[in-house]
């Protein structure tokens, strides 16, 4: 069970899982803190950088919130302050805690931090690292082994949608599979609970576009039979 606790600083707030930690130094949210301890296991490029950390005895993922699209050209990682509970980091942390409580396959939230400066803030989140997993995007060409997993991916997405879980960026990069083809969803920034509706189909359409893009980048095409297999698992 996740136990939310909050540490308040002069210009910062840290939300963390009291069942895992006794407290979280603000320095833990700085890349340099881990680099100085030779504890950065790997770096994943994307919108900004995501760091996999050796936190002993576990591994964590540290992600700094950055904007995307045209706005990022002018405002890289600042957001308007409307209160701690409305920050991107706190909302994602609490959503993950709720999803975990409901038995949905997501990474466990560890800590989230917001650093306020006047009317704006920056934010970071730490979650547990899902070991021995690979993204659906990285497996797109492994049709022999991926095939049996597609129906399971569909069933997993259906489970999230039936509980009203909206994923704001449902792409092939945010669906992970482990060695037993267990399925996980990651990166719930801007995710939320919604009453099931047309957005469910929108989520699937977003995923299909992502799969087509990833396949094209690797010189292949998304086979319609593969997509139908995923939809069969979903029940559509």
Beta-carbon count within 10 A of 206 CB: 16
The structure tokens 């409305």 sit at 86
Question: Where would I find the beta strands (DSSP E) of 9-156?
Answer: 12-17, 40-46, 48-54, 59-64, 79-80, 109-117, 120-128, 133-135
Examine the residue annotation and report whether 169 is marked as an active-site residue of this protein. Answer: yes
Residue 163 vs residues 107, 147, 157, 195, 233: alpha-carbon distances, Å: 17, 26, 10, 8, 17
Return d(Cα 91, Cα 85) in angstroms, integer.
6
Beta-carbon count within 10 A of 166 CB: 21
Question: Where would I find the beta strands (DSSP E) of 98-189?
Answer: 109-117, 120-128, 133-135, 165-166, 175-178, 183-185
Return d(Cα 50, Cα 140) in angstroms, integer.
22
The structure tokens 């934010």 sit at 123
Beta-carbon count within 10 A of 117 CB: 11
Return d(Cα 79, Cα 176) in angstroms, integer.
29
Q: Which of 54, 77, 169, 178 is catalytic?
A: 169
Residues forming the active site: 169
């Amino acid at each position: 069970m996740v136990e939310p606790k909050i540490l308040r600083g002069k210009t910062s707030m840290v939300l963390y899982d009291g069942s895992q930690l006794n407290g979280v130094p603000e320095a833990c949210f700085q890349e340099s803190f881990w680099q100085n301890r030779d504890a950065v296991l790997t770096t994943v490029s994307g919108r900004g950088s995501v760091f996999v950390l050796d936190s002993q005895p576990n591994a964590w993922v540290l992600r700094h919130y950055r904007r995307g699209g045209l706005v990022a050209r002018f405002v890289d990682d600042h957001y308007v302050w409307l209160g701690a509970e409305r920050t991107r980091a706190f909302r994602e942390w609490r959503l993950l805690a709720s999803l975990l409580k409901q038995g949905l396959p997501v990474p466990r939230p560890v800590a989230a931090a917001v650093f306020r400066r006047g009317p704006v803030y920056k934010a970071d989140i730490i979650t547990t690292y899902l070991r021995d997993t690979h993204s659906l995007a990285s497996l797109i060409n492994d049709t022999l082994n991926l095939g049996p997993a597609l129906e399971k991916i569909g069933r997993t997405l259906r489970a999230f949608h039936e509980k009203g879980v909206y994923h704001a960026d449902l792409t092939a990069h945010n669906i992970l599979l482990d060695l037993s083809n267990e399925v996980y969803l990651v990166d719930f920034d801007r995710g939320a609970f919604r009453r099931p509706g047309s957005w469910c189909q929108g989520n699937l359409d977003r995923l299909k576009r992502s799969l087509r893009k990833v396949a094209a980048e690797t010189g292949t095409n998304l086979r319609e039979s593969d997509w139908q297999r995923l939809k069969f698992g979903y029940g559509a």
